[in-house]
Amino acid sequence: MDDSPAPIPELRRLLNLNLATLYQGRLGELISSGDYKAAREVSGKLIRYSSNQAGAHMNYGLLSYLAGDKDTALAELRKAKELNPNLRQQLDNVAKNRPQYAPVLRDEAFLKQVFQ
């Protein structure tokens, strides 16, 4: 960073990377423990710092669904779909690794709204 022509923006970028890594780790812990409301809160913060915006919005949408907020879940998953046209495939991959999300992926009426 000492040789960066723009040290302040570079510092911000590095700080964002660090915060994204920290929030991602915490998010995984909370999802594994089943605390979806707390996970949703962390996921909302992760959106600000993540370089993978489609994934961040997808996680926030899935966790919003599990926390009982289907309106926010729908809006976030639609945003993720705008950012990633392959969202359906990504959701299927996530389901294999995170069985906690299965209720969302079994809700065909909800998914139809996301992908219409």
Question: Where do the domains of the chain lie, and which CATH numbers do they carry?
Answer: 7-115 (1.25.40.10)
Question: Is pLDDT at 5 greater than 90 in this prediction?
Answer: no
pLDDT tens digits for range 22-61: 999 999 999 989 899 999 999 999 999 998 999 999 999 9
Angle at 111 between CA 87 and CA 71, to 5 degrees: 100
More confident residue, 81 or 116: 81
pTM (two decimals): 0.87
pLDDT tens digits for range 68-77: 999 999 999 9
Rounded Cα–Cα distance for residues 116 and 63 (Å): 21
Give me the chain's average pLDDT, please.
Answer: 92
